[in-house]
């Protein structure tokens, strides 16, 4: 919908993944199932860690925060997306678009540094095990977990303000399934130089700095593990990092080409495909990665399930008594 220079944008139209009406119900069911599995997996992980005292360790404290971030991340875009699949009016208010864009950027940055904090935790556990309880004290863990939120929501607010200070007069149609920076920049008829370079600088800095922390941590971990003489000891050390390494690979592998490029028609279309992966696939896969590859989590899950079965068996005879 073209607009005049003096018209003020009060709402945006989200084109979504496809404009083909026959695919909308199918996509609604597909993404609803993925969303419910994501909620179940991440909430289940948080509750399981809270219930089992054997999981009250720094590694699982950070895992709880990662599950919470993933939960919020996917919940930021999915309800609006599901609503648009079944609605003819695929609009979002200006304030709603600002909020969605802000939370998206903030949680993305938070996850960068939460994964970096988890890598540092593994580094201390493997390279300095005797001082692990001192170096990863409760106070240190809280600080390491708080920083990603504070930094992420601060830089996210700055980036969102830069985006929504632009003048939108070309159109109010966003070629995406949520309010993302690249398609919003393309709608602007004002100078986007500052915003584009601030986005490029933020993306480059945060990707490289968080990944550097992770890579340096794993460089020390690998060096320490290679000094272990027994194959069993090396395998045990690497197994504690396997889940995190896989999660990092999935997360960063889909992000390197996301913002570190100018927003063109081609890259906006590509970014929608990439966004589907890290908005839906990463949050739904992370609980599976950390549960299926982690003996402590599997043991805790078996304990909780066994406890529930025993409780039900004990309650049933009492309920049948006259």
pLDDT tens, residue by residue, 192-212: 999 999 999 998 899 999 999
Higher per-residue confidence, 236 vs 164: 164
**Angle between the N-to-C axes of helices 282-292 and 231-253, in degrees from 0 to 180, rounded to the nearest 10:** 170
Gap between the Cα atoms of 293 and 36, Å rounded: 22
**Measuring CA to CA, how many Å separate 100 from each of 30, 85, 92, 195, 231?**
22, 18, 10, 18, 49
pTM across the whole model: 0.88
Kindly report, residue by residue over 247-263, the tens digit of the pLDDT: 898 888 777 655 555 55
> Sheet holding 11-14: strands in order across?
91-93, 11-14, 173-174
State residue 291's pLDDT score. 79
Q: If pLDDT is split at 50, 70 and 90, which confidence band does 277 have? A: confident
Average pLDDT over residues 162-182: 88
Q: If pLDDT is split at 50, 70 and 90, which confidence band does 189 have? A: confident
Indicate if the pLDDT at residue 267 is higher than 90: no
What average pLDDT does the chain have?
86
Kindly report, residue by residue over 281-297, the tens digit of the pLDDT: 889 988 888 877 677 78
Gap between the Cα atoms of 171 and 179, Å rounded: 14
State residue 315's pLDDT score. 54
Residues 6 or more apart whose CB falls under 8 angstroms from that of 196 comprise 185, 262, 263
Indicate if the pLDDT at residue 3 is higher than 80: no
State residue 34's pLDDT score. 95
State phi, psi for 133 to the nearest 5 degrees. -65, -25
The two structure tokens encoding residue 87: 């609605």
Gap between the Cα atoms of 106 and 160, Å rounded: 9
- Give the start-end residues of each E strand in the chain: 11-14, 91-93, 173-174
State residue 159's pLDDT score. 96
Kindly report, residue by residue over 43-66, the tens digit of the pLDDT: 999 999 998 888 899 999 999 999
State residue 261's pLDDT score. 55
Please give the share of the chain, as a percent, with pLDDT higher than 70. 88
State residue 27's pLDDT score. 92
């Amino acid at each position: 919908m073209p607009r005049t220079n003096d018209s003020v944008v009060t709402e945006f139209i989200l084109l979504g993944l496809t404009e083909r009406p026959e695919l909308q119900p199918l996509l609604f069911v597909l993404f609803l199932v993925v969303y419910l599995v994501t909620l179940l997996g991440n909430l289940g992980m948080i509750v399981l860690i809270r219930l089992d005292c054997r999981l009250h360790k720094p590694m699982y404290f950070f895992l709880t925060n990662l599950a919470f971030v993933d939960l919020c991340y996917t919940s930021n875009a999915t309800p609006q997306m599901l609503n648009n699949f079944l609605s003819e009016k695929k609009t979002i208010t200006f304030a709603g678009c600002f909020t969605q864009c802000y939370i998206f950027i903030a949680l993305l940055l938070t996850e960068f540094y939460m994964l970096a904090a988890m890598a540092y935790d593994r580094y201390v556990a493997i390279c300095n095990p005797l001082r692990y309880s001192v170096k990863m004290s409760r106070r240190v863990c809280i600080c390491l977990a708080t920083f990603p939120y504070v930094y992420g929501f601060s830089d996210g607010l700055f980036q969102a303000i830069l985006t929504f200070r632009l003048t939108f007069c070309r159109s109010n149609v966003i070629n995406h399934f949520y309010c993302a920076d690249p398609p919003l920049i393309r709608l602007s008829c004002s100078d986007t130089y500052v915003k584009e370079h601030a986005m490029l600088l933020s993306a480059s800095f945060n990707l490289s700095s968080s990944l550097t922390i992770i890579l340096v941590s794993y460089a020390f971990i690998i060096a320490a593990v290679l000094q272990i003489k027994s194959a069993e000891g090396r395998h045990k050390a690497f197994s504690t990092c396997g889940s995190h390494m896989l999660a990092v690979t999935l997360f960063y592998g889909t992000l390197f080409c996301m913002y570190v490029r100018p927003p063109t028609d081609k890259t906006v279309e590509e970014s929608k495909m990439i966004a589907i992966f890290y908005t839906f696939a990463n949050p739904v896969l992370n609980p599976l990665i950390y549960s299926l590859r982690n003996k402590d989590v599997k043991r805790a899950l078996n304990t909780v399930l066994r406890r529930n079965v025993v409780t039900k068996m004990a309650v049933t005879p009492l309920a049948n008594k006259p």
